[in-house]
Amino acid sequence: MQNNLAFETEITNQPDIDLDSYDGFIVFFSSGKDSTACVLHLLEQGVEPQRIELHHHCVDGMEGSSLMDWPVTEAYTEKISQALDLKLYWSFRSGGFEREMLRDEQRTGAIWYQDEHFQFHKTGGIRGTLGTRLMFPQVSADLRTRWCSGYLKVDVGARLITSQERFTKGRYLVVTGERAQESAARAKYEVFEPHRTDNRCGKRVRRHIDHWRPVHQWSESEVWAILKRWKITAHPAYYCGFGRCSCLSCIFGSPNQWATIQKYAPEHFNRIADYEEQFGVTIHRKLSVREQAQKGVAYDCDPKWIKIALSSEFNEPVFQNNWVLPAGAYGESAGPT
C-alpha cells in the first residue's frame, strides 16, 4: 500500500519573483507530476493562461520512431493543454533518441520546433563534426555521458528559444520542474538564475530569459497536493505503479520497472535488449536489461491503466471528481543520481 502523506502542506522557500514583469512563460513540459505542478503553481499565482506556453520535447521525435517513450504521452500532453486552455508547442531532434543512438560517423540530427503560429521550422544538422555513438546513454549525472537529456531536451529547448526573434522582445521566464529531493545533483541547482539562452547584455542580439524552478524545494507530498487541489489526472504511468514519469524505457529504470516492461510490453522490452546485445554495451554497465528484469518483480498494474499507457490515445477525463492518489506515488523514483 502506498504511503498517502498529508496533503495540506505549506510551500517552502519561494524566492520573491515579480511574475507580472514577464511578457511570457516558457514551460518545458514533460507531462510528469513535477512539470504539471509548475503549471498549476503559475496559475495559482495569478498568471493568465494566455501568457503561458507549454513546450514538449518529443524524445522519440515525430517521424515514426517509438523506442523509448510512453506511447500515450503526446496524447495525454495535448489533453492537459486543452483542459487548462494553454498553448502547446512541439519540438524534437530529427530521428529522436533512436537516430542519435545509432549515429555512425554521422552528424547529430537537426532540431525541429514550432513558432508562435504553430508552424514547424528546422535548424541545425548541417555543420558539425561526424560522430559515432552505437550505445545507449549511460547511467550518470554527467549529461555528456547521459546524453539523452542534453541532446533531446536541454539542447532542443535552448535552440527553440535562440532561433526565434520573438524571444528578443520583452522578458521571458523559463520554468522547469527539477526538485532537490530527487537527487544530490539536482539539490545543487539554483532556484532562480539567468537561463542558458539569456543574452541581456548582448551587443548585437539581446535576449532577457530567466530560469525558475518553482518546485525545487517542494516535497513530493506538496507536488501531489497541488494535483489533488486541481483534481488533475496524472500521467497514466503513475497509475501503473511508476514513481516517475520519464521514458517508459528510462535508462535509470529499476529491476522492478524492467520486469514490469518485460511483462506488459515484451516487444518494447525486447527491442531495448536486442540493441544492448548488438552494441555489446549495456545501459547499466554491469547488468543487461534482461538480467535486471530477472532480479526484479513486476508491478501489479491496473489492466485499465496499462492499456491506456501503452496506447496512443488518451480519452480519460482530465479532471477527476473523486481524485485518487496514483499507485506509483511515493514509490520507486529510479531517476538521475
Q: How many Cα atoms within 13 Å fall on the side-chain side of residue 250? A: 23
* Residue 61 Rama label (left phi>0; alpha psi -120 to 50; beta): left
Show Cβ contacts of residue 40 under 8 Å, excluding neighbours closer than 6 positions: 226, 227, 229, 230, 232
Phi/psi for 212 (5° steps) reads -125, 135
Delimit the domains of the chain by residue range. Answer: 22-235
CA 281 from chain centre, in angstroms, equals 25
Check residue 153 and give its pLDDT.
Answer: 97
Write a three-state SS string for 40-79.
Answer: HHHHHCCCCHHHEEEEEECCCCCCCCCCCCCCCHHHHHHH
Nearest to 116 by CA among 213, 212, 24, 19: 24
User: How sure is the predictor about 10, in pLDDT bands with cuts at 50, 70 and 90?
Assistant: very low
**CATH number of the structural domain 22-235:** 3.40.50.620
- What percentage of the chain reaches a pLDDT higher than 70? 95
Spatial separation of the C-alpha atoms in residues 243 and 307, rounded to whole Å: 18
Average pLDDT over residues 28-37: 98
CA distance 61 to 63: 6
Distance CA 22, CA 46 (A): 13
DSSP-H helix ranges across the chain: 33-44, 73-83, 96-101, 147-149, 155-162, 184-187, 220-230, 236-239, 255-264, 266-279, 289-295, 303-309
Q: In this predicted model, what pLDDT tens digit does every residue of 219-264 receive, in sequence order?
A: 999 999 999 999 999 999 999 999 999 999 999 999 999 999 999 9
- Residue 65: CB atoms within 10 A of its CB come to 19
pLDDT tens for each residue of 44-97? 999 999 999 999 999 999 999 999 999 999 999 999 999 999 999 999 999 999
pTM over 0.85: yes
